[in-house]
Amino acid sequence: MGRAVVICDFDGTVTETDNIISIMKKFAPKEWERLKDLVLSQKLSIQEGVGSMFSLLPSHLREDIVGFLKQTVVIRKGFPEFTEYCRSNDIPLYIVSGGLDFFVEPLLKGYVRQAEIYCNKADFKGNAIKINWPHSCDQYCDKDCGCCKPSIIRKLVEHDDKVVVIGDSITDLEAAKIADIVFARGFLAEKCSSLGIPYHEFNTFTECLELLSELKEVEV
């Protein structure tokens, strides 16, 4: 049996709330709501929708956004223990996020190394925030994901690895489709249920740790 490799979402998964939604509610004009609805209904690609949402925000808001998140973000219960468990048991843990480096990396400092974070990059050179997409879809994905989680999985795992996906939203759906084990909550749990994708519902990382430890005990 191969090793377990954990692919974990950030916004709304590691954190109690979706940081992109929190940013938009606080700083963006009302147009962002229509873009969000189009993304969730899969009428607009994640890359196009999220790119358009951040283009509504002036670049000078960078420090205001980071300060706002540092004051309001709550890390989900059990996450520090979960990261320590993975580290102690040589289970690779990657944070794969559709969020942006300028807030994802500072909020994860002390939990995971920067080399273990895959996310989109923010460009503040222009008047509005522009997103660069260093992890776009490979030849096997045509969903215009932005940060393409299935493409990253194909780069990180070996053929006999067990892929463990942890997530909460539409950005995690394509990864869940190719995972061996899915921990889901919120919108992702609803989509998995409607599509017949097996999953374990969770509210805290304590639950994820317990099940992951059970799986490790039965490895041969």
pLDDT in tens, 34-77: 999 999 999 999 999 999 999 999 999 999 999 999 999 999 99
Quick one: CA torsion of 206, 212, 218, 220, rounded to 10 degrees? -140
Can you tell me the mean pLDDT for 190-213? 96
pLDDT in tens, 107-165: 999 999 999 999 999 999 999 999 999 999 999 999 889 899 999 999 999 989 999 99
Is residue 217 pLDDT above 80, yes or no?
Answer: no
pLDDT in tens, 123-134: 999 999 999 999
Can you tell me the mean pLDDT for 20-39? 97
- pLDDT tier, 215 (very low <50, low <70, confident <90, very high otherwise): confident
The upper half-sphere exposure of residue 110, i.e. CA atoms within 13 Å in the direction of its Cβ, equals 6
The upper half-sphere exposure of residue 153, i.e. CA atoms within 13 Å in the direction of its Cβ, equals 27
Is residue 182 pLDDT above 50, yes or no?
Answer: yes
β-bridge partners, 131: 122
- Distance between CA atoms of 140 and 154, rounded to whole angstroms? 10
Between the alpha carbon of residue 122 and those of residues 12, 56, 161, the distances in Å are 20, 13, 32
pLDDT in tens, 6-18: 999 999 999 999 9
What was the pLDDT predicted at 45? 93
CA 220 to mean position of chain CA atoms: 30
Is residue 206 pLDDT above 90, yes or no?
Answer: yes
pLDDT in tens, 161-177: 999 999 999 999 999 99
Ranges 103-107, 202-206, 211-215: which has the least confidence: 211-215
- Distance between CA atoms of 39 and 207, rounded to whole angstroms? 29
Is residue 219 pLDDT above 70, yes or no?
Answer: no
Angle at 13 between CA 141 and CA 172, to 5 degrees: 15
What was the pLDDT predicted at 17? 94
pTM for this entry? 0.93
Structural Rg of the chain based on CA atoms? 17
pLDDT in tens, 71-92: 999 999 999 999 999 999 999 9
Q: Are 204 and 14 in contact (CB under 8 A)?
A: no
CATH topology of domain 4-218: Rossmann fold (3.40.50)
| Distance between start and end Cα atoms, the chain | 6
What was the pLDDT predicted at 218? 54
Is residue 220 pLDDT above 50, yes or no?
Answer: no
Alpha helix locations (H) across the chain?
Answer: 19-27, 31-40, 46-54, 62-72, 79-88, 101-108, 149-156, 173-178, 186-195, 205-217
Domain boundaries, the chain: 4-218
What was the pLDDT predicted at 157? 94
